[in-house]
């Protein structure tokens, strides 16, 4: 079935409006090639001279093949790219296009670009949204590791920090090469290559090569020494249907509250061959990034603290600071590390083949491989946060001064969490149309070999480590986990076009995930927290659901209005991670592991959503077009798994052993309302208002104590959010005023503490200069983020404990200027 492509409209109203929604019928599939599992489908397009968007019903003359994002010209004034599109499926899906992403901020994380959509709450302590350690995402009550993510149909994993089965979108593709970013806020398509999409999917597409020989060179300057360069060369069409591009990006920006620099280098290359029956795409990504992390504040113990900056690279200051132990251990919670950083190097490759056997039978296959070498590194005092207990297990009967000598005489140690991941797989889907039915049959297989290790290295006062070094010759190899995971999914779906205006779809997905976790290196007795904890040998556990059904309906009520409904069940497989994580391999004993293996259940959810879409041209004075969507959803989330910490160690660098606990279910009800109002050829206003009520249904036990969570709001999820974008365009000039208002968020499961609401505003303005010899377009763009210099908490590390939580600050106001030349 094909409810997956979004309509493109080239009407004058869209040309003048940087933001617009459109609604269309589920048109008959056309003979078109595409790069992902999204089936090519005919879409209605208005004529360029039309004063407003065409009705949703398409006439034969209006039906044209869908073009891929890469086939669109990347001129910023292009009338051919929809900036925000509303999908015409039996479920809610909305898309942000390439132009809007780069207007929001050049180089933006594609996930952050979705922040303007209803139901999406994204937080990060840097303006691009790139820092993974302090990144959070909630969609309809589900956190980022309970969602599904793909790039051109390739699985990106669950986006947990220290990800074990994928990589972040900004490491998978250069921001300037992203064609579109889409979010299904209720339930994703059955064919989505994910085993974590309880609460919806985020799908990203890379641009195809352009058909004309040319290139692009962009340079961004800005606050805190920002220096971002992007360069791309397109071959244009050569040979018989061949085209390609190669691109490079480098970003360097000083962290806004300490002297560390964030960024790195990234290379993308893509080749496309297209003929009458085939489309073959080959994509390559190399990413090498280092991101010194923002440090969080433990609240309310942080008192008046808003930032907790690292002292790097001032080594002498750090040594003197740590010598005065009361300066950083008086609260035991907000001591300062010397530095912390996430180092990530990735290689991602895929080859996609789309083949048309006939007008009615089409086939898509993706083969991919991903290699990741990552390291999370922290340098700090050896006398803080439970470290003396840990070190005494490996260096018994040593005084603090003797331990300092062991670690290099600085009073500090360097800790790493090291990741090594090799995964590869294949997705394949057949699309067959017979009569009024469109049948989709597909499958996905992935083999993932993943290693996670915790090690400790010296911090030599004469040869100190830095956030950018890869560590060598560990003093302590605390523990190492190996995980071997085989993932098998299949799906079958039928779309029945009962009449011209009414369509039903039904299908199911089978999900089978088998993980073998082993422990070649175990933590010594007494080295963990609490001292009685162990790292378990592990074994094999399966996450299996052979039947996950889905049902949907789509009714074109009028040529302008559409009703949709969808019901779907999903499962999240167990994370392949060890000590300290909410997984079977992170429990406190082998007996607990075996018990969970027998009786444990994976998390599941039932999602119910229904809504109404409209798109109408009006003659109401200055108001010339209105389009929008109203959606209601209900979710029942079962078998919620929680890692209940054995000790209260929010700030501990050691971490804590956990008990994996099924804490019951969560019920969610909510509504999303979004619209775009067009005021003549020069102005538009987009608004998205969301209400969400996510509630824990059960209490649970923490040891012998009852944690009273039943009836409490889900921590970290605001009840209300409001987003808007006011846009204008006059000739080659465009500008936007963007707002993001997030309501109160509870920070503990018992709702005894909360973070205050905040409102963030930003501005962008650009001008396209034409007529320069040998340059198609020169764009000058300015951006201001956090316009009012709002102070507040962005990402929250919520906790099952009462009385405290960890929070990360909102980045201050920043200014950026981008010059971009297209040749």
Pairing type for strands 148-151 and 201-206 reads parallel
pLDDT for 652 equals 53
Closest C-alpha among 156, 158, 153 to residue 137: 158
Q: Which residues contact 619 (CB under 8 A, 6 or more apart)?
A: none
| Per-residue confidence (pLDDT) for residue 388, from 0 to 100 | 82
What is the predicted pLDDT for the residue at 801?
Answer: 66
Average pLDDT, integer, range 263-281? 97
Secondary structure, 3-state, 151-164: ECCEECCCCCCCCC
Model confidence at 256: pLDDT above 70: yes
Q: Is 332 exposed, middle or buried (0-12, 13-18, 19+ CB in 10 A)?
A: middle
Are the C-beta atoms of 143 and 160 separated by less than 8 Å?
A: no
pLDDT per position as a tens digit, 654-693: 555 667 889 999 999 999 999 999 999 999 999 999 999 9
pLDDT-derived band at 645 (thresholds 50, 70, 90) equals: low
Helix/strand/coil for 195: coil
What is the model's pLDDT at position 293?
A: 84
Q: Is residue 155 over pLDDT 60?
A: yes
The span from the CA of 719 to the CA of 717, in Å, is 7
What is residue 112's three-state secondary structure? helix
Give residue 382's pLDDT band: very low, low, confident or very high (50, 70, 90): confident
**Contacting residues for 410 by C-beta, under 8 A, at least 6 apart:** 315, 319, 404, 459, 460, 461, 464
Closest CA to 467 of 297, 320, 261: 261
Q: What's the Cα-to-Cα distance from 156 to each of 75, 148, 173, 347, 349, rounded to whole Å?
A: 29, 8, 11, 13, 12
Domain ranges in the chain are 12-822
Percent of the chain whose pLDDT exceeds 70: 87
**Is pLDDT at 32 greater than 60 in this prediction?**
no
Please, is 519 exposed, middle or buried when counting C-beta atoms within 10 Å of its C-beta (0-12, 13-18, 19+)?
buried
Instruction: Name which of 386-390, 606-610, 810-814 the model is least confident about.
Output: 386-390
pLDDT at 36 over 80: no
C-beta of residue 696 within 8 angstroms of C-beta of residue 671: no
Strand partners, 566: 552, 609
Query: Please, which pLDDT band fits residue 398 given cuts at 50, 70 and 90?
Result: confident
Q: Which residues pair with 429 in a beta bridge?
A: 364, 442
More confident of the two residues 239 and 285: 285
Distance CA 128, CA 110 (A): 9
> Domain 12-822 falls in which CATH fold?
Maltoporin; Chain A (2.40.170)
CA distances from 750 to 333, 720, 747, 795, 804 (A): 21, 19, 9, 18, 11
Cβ–Cβ < 8 Å for 135, 161 = yes
- φ, ψ for residue 394, nearest 5 deg: -100, -25
Q: Which of 275, 176, 270 is nearest to 228 (CA)?
A: 176
> Taking a C-beta distance cutoff of 8 angstroms, is the pair 550, 567 a contact?
yes
What's the CA gap between 101 and 69, in Å, rounded? 13
HEC-encoded secondary structure of 364-379: EEEEEEEEEEEEEEEE
Helix (H) or strand (E) holding 419: strand 409-434
| φ, ψ (nearest 5 deg) of residue 277 | -110, -15
Which residue is associated with the tokens 């039978």?
361
pLDDT in tens, 346-363: 999 999 999 999 999 999
Q: What is the pLDDT of residue 45?
A: 30
Give bridge partners of residue 268 from the DSSP assignment: 247, 285
pLDDT of residue 67: 42
The Cα–Cα gap between 175 and 680 comes to 32
CB 144 within 8 A of CB 160: yes
Mean pLDDT, residues 145-157? 96
Question: Mean pLDDT of all residues in the chain?
Answer: 86
Distance separating alpha carbons of residues 637 and 640, to the nearest angstrom: 7
Closest of 105, 125, 111 to residue 173, by C-alpha: 111
- At 655 the pLDDT is 58
pLDDT tens digits, residue range 48-94?
333 333 333 332 232 233 344 333 343 333 333 445 778 788 899 99
CA distance linking residue 492 with residue 682, whole number of Å: 46
**Mean of the pLDDT values across residues 362-373?**
98
Q: Kindly indicate the confidence band of residue 11, based on its pLDDT and cuts at 50, 70 and 90.
A: very low
Residue 819 has pLDDT above 80, yes or no: yes
**According to the model, what pLDDT value does residue 326 have?**
58
Task: Compute the average pLDDT of residues 516-529.
Answer: 89
Query: What HEC string does 39-77 produce?
Result: CCCCEECCCCCCCCCCCCCCCHHHEECCCCHHHCCCCCC
| Arithmetic mean of pLDDT, 721-725 | 97
SS3 694: strand
| Helix (H), strand (E) counts: the chain | 9, 42
Alpha carbon distance 393, 379 (integer Å) = 20
pTM of the model: 0.89
- List, for residues 90-134, the tens digit of each pLDDT value: 899 999 999 999 999 999 999 999 999 999 999 998 999 999 988
- Identify the pLDDT of residue 194: 96
Reading the block at residue 665, the tokens are 């279910």
Distance, CA of 394 to CA of 385 (rounded, Å): 17
């Amino acid at each position: 079935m094909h409810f997956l492509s979004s309509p493109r409209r080239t009407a004058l109203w869209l040309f003048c409006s940087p933001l617009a929604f459109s609604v269309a019928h589920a048109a008959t599939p056309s003979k078109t090639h595409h790069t992902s599992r999204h089936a090519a489908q005919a879409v209605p397009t208005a004529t360029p001279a039309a004063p407003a968007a065409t009705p949703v019903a398409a006439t034969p003359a209006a039906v044209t093949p869908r073009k891929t994002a890469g086939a669109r010209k990347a001129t910023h004034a292009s009338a051919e790219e929809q900036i925000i599109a509303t999908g015409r499926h039996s479920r809610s899906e909305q898309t942000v296009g390439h132009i809007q992403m780069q207007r929001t901020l050049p180089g933006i994380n594609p996930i952050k670009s979705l922040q303007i959509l209803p139901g999406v709450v994204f937080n990060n302590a840097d303006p691009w949204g790139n820092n993974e350690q302090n990144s959070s995402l909630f969609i309809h009550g589900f956190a980022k590791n309970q969602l599904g993510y793909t790039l051109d149909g390739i699985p990106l994993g669950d986006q947990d920090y220290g990800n074990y089965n994928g990589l972040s979108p900004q490491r998978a593709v250069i921001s300037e090469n992203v064609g579109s970013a889409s979010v299904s806020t209720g339930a994703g398509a059955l064919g989505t290559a994910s085993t974590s999409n309880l609460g919806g999917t985020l799908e990203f597409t890379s641009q195809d090569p352009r058909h004309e020989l040319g290139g692009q060179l962009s340079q961004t300057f800005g606050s805190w020494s920002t220096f971002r360069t992007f360069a791309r060369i397109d071959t244009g069409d050569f040979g018989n249907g061949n085209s390609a591009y190669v691109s490079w990006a480098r970003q360097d920006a000083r962290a806004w509250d300490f002297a560390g620099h964030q960024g790195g280098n990234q290379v993308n290359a893509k080749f496309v061959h297209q003929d009458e029956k085939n489309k073959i795409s080959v994509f390559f990504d190399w990413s090498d990034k280092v991101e010194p992390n923002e440090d969080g504040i433990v609240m309310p113990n942080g008192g008046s603290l808003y930032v907790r900056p690292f002292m790097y690279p001032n080594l002498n200051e750090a040594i003197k600071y740590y010598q005065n132990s009361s300066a950083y251990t008086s609260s035991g919670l907000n001591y300062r590390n010397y530095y912390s950083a996430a180092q990530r190097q990735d290689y991602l490759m895929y080859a996609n083949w789309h083949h048309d056997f006939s007008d009615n039978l089409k086939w898509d296959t993706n083969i991919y491989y991903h290699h990741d070498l990552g390291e999370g590194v922290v340098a700090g005092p050896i006398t803080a946060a439970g470290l003396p207990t840990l070190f005494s297990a490996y260096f018994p009967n040593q005084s603090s001064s003797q331990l300092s000598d062991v670690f290099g005489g600085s009073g500090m140690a360097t800790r790493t969490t090291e990741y090594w991941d090799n995964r590869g797989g294949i997705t394949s889907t057949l699309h067959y149309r017979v009569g009024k039915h469109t049948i989709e049959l597909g499958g996905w297989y992935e083999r993932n070999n993943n290693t996670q290790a915790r090690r400790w290295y010296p911090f030599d006062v004469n040869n100190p480590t830095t956030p950018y070094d890869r560590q060598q010759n560990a003093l302590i190899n605390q523990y190492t986990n190996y995980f071997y995971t085989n993932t098998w999914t299949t799906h079958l779906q039928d779309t029945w076009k009962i009449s011209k205006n009414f369509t039903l779809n039904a299908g199911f997905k089978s999900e089978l995930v088998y993980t073998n976790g082993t422990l070649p290196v175990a933590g010594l007795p007494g080295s963990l927290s609490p001292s009685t904890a162990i790292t378990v040998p592990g074994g094999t556990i399966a996450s299996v659901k052979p039947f996950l059904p889905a049902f949907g309906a789509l009714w074109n009520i009028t040529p302008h209005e559409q009703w949709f409904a969808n019901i779907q069940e999903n499962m999240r497989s167990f994370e392949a991670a060890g000590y300290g994580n909410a997984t079977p391999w992170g429990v406190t004993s082998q007996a607990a592991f075996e018990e969970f293996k027998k009786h444990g259940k994976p998390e599941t959810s039932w999602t119910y959503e229904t809504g109404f879409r409209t798109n109408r041209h009006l003659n109401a004075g200055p108001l010339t077009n209105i389009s929008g969507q109203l959606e209601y959803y209900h979710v029942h989330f079962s078998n919620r798994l929680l890692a209940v910490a054995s000790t209260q160690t929010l700030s501990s660098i050691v971490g804590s052993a956990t008990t994996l606990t099924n804490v019951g279910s969560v019920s969610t009800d909510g509504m999303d309302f979004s619209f775009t109002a067009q005021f003549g050829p020069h102005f538009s206003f987009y608004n998205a208002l969301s209400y969400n009520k996510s509630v824990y249904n059960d209490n649970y036990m923490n040891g012998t104590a009852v944690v009273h969570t039943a009836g409490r709001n889900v921590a970290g999820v605001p009840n209300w959010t409001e987003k808007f974008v006011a846009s204008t365009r006059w000739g080659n000039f465009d500008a936007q005023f963007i707002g993001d208002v997030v309501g109160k968020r509870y920070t503990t499961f018992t709702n005894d503490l909360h973070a205050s609401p905040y409102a963030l505003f930003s501005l962008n303005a650009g001008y396209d200069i034409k007529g320069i010899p040998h340059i198609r377009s020169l764009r000058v763009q300015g951006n201001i983020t956090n316009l009012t210099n709002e102070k507040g908490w962005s990402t929250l590390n919520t906790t099952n404990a009462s009385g405290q939580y960890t929070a990360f600050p909102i980045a201050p106001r920043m200014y950026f200027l981008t010059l971009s030349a297209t040749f």
